[in-house]
Amino acid sequence: MILFDRIDLLQAYLQQAQTQQSIGFVPTMGALHEGHLALIKQSMRQNTITVCSIFVNQLQFNQAEDFTKYPRSLDQDIALLEKIGCHCLFIPTHSTVFPENYPLKTFDLGNVEHILEGFYRPGHFQGVCQVVKRLLDIVRPTNLYLGMKDFQQCIVIDKMMQLEGFNQFIKLHFCDTVRNEDGLALSSRNKRLSPQAISKALGLINNLKQAKSTILNNPTLVNLDSLQQASINSLINNGFESVDYFTFMNEQFEPIHSITDSFKQIIILVAATIEGVRLIDNIIIKSNEFK
Ligand code: AMP
C-alpha cells in the first residue's frame, strides 16, 4: 500500500495509473473495523485502484468534546489496510484538506439537512459535504462507496453530488451495514463502550427488527405512533440514557405516520445514547417484503 499525505503526489500517482483504470474511493475517519473494510473490499473487487482516506473532519463535529474523544488508531488502521491489500491510503492533515482561505461553501441540501441527525447535530451535514466535496475534487474517483449505517448521510452526499455535478462522472454505491455476530452495527464509537453497554446496545437492532415485524404482520392496522413510543420505552427500560429519535420514513425520506399500499420502501431509523456514546442504526422494509 502506498501512503500519501500530499495532494500533488496522490494526484500524480492516480493520473499516471488512471489510463483505462477505474478508481474506487472509500472516505473514512479511521478507527477502522470490518464495516469500513467491507466497503474497501467491495471497491477492490470493482476497481483497479482503491483509495481509502483517513481524516477526522473537525467541521462535521458539532461538539468539540466528541471530536477530541473520537478514537484514533492509525498504526492499527494501516496494518488492517495492508492486510486486505488496499492500494492507496490518503492521510492528509487538516491544513492540507482545508488550507487557510479555502472557500467553504454552503450547500443547498433542503430539508434533509435539518431533520433527524441534522436536527440533533446542527451543521453536521454541511461539514460532511465540505470534506466529501474536497476529497472528491482531489481523488476524482470512478466509484464512491458509502455505508448505509449512515443512511441519512448517503442521501445528503447523493444530493451534494447532484448539486456539484459529481454524479455525472462518479457512481455512488450504498453498501450494507456490517454487524457483529449478535447484530450490533459496527461503529468506531463502540470502542468507547463497556462490555455491558455493548450487550445493551443490541436493543437498537432488536427494536428495529421488532418494529419491522410488527409492521409486516399487520401493515394496514399498525399504529406507528404507538410503535414509536413502545420502542423508545423499551430502549430506555433496557439501559439507554436517552433516545433522540425512533422514526419511520418513506423513500423520499419524509416522516410517515401510517402505512399505505404505495410505499416502495420504508426505513426505520434510531439514534440513542448509552454510557454517553450516541449510536445510530436503521433497518429497511422493501415493498416486496409486504405480503
Ligand atoms: P466513518 O469512518 O464512521 O466516517 O465511516 C466511513 C464509512 O464507513 C461511511 O461511509 C460509513 O457509513 C461506513 N461505515 C461505518 N460503519 C459501517 C458499518 N458497520 N457497515 C458498513 N459501513 C459502515
Using alpha carbons only, give the angle 36, 204, 130 rounded to the nearest 5 degrees: 45
Q: What mean pLDDT comes out for the span 258-277?
A: 92
Q: End-to-end distance of the chain based on CA atoms, in angstroms?
A: 48
Active-site residue set: 36
**Which three three-digit cell numbers place residue 233?**
420505552
**Which three three-digit cell numbers place residue 6?**
500530499
Work out the pLDDT band at 19, boundaries 50, 70, 90.
low
Ligand 1 center to residue 35 CA distance, Å?
Answer: 6
pLDDT digits (tens, 9 = 90+) for 116-143: 999 999 999 999 999 999 999 999 999 9
Q: Report the percent of the chain where pLDDT is more than 70.
A: 99
Ligand 1 atom with the smallest distance to the CA of 188 is 3
Ligand 1 center to residue 177 CA distance, Å?
Answer: 8
Q: What mean pLDDT comes out for the span 96-102?
A: 96
The count of C-alpha atoms lying within 13 angstroms of the C-alpha of 133, restricted to the half-sphere facing its C-beta, is 22
Ligand 1 center to residue 164 CA distance, Å?
Answer: 23
Distance CA 226, CA 183 (A): 25
DSSP secondary structure string, 50-102? EEEEE---GGG-SSHHHHHHS---HHHHHHHHHHHT-SEEE---HHHHS-TT-
Give the model's pLDDT for residue 164: 98
Ligand 1 atom with the smallest distance to the CA of 178 is 20
pTM for this prediction: 0.97
Work out the pLDDT band at 261, boundaries 50, 70, 90.
confident
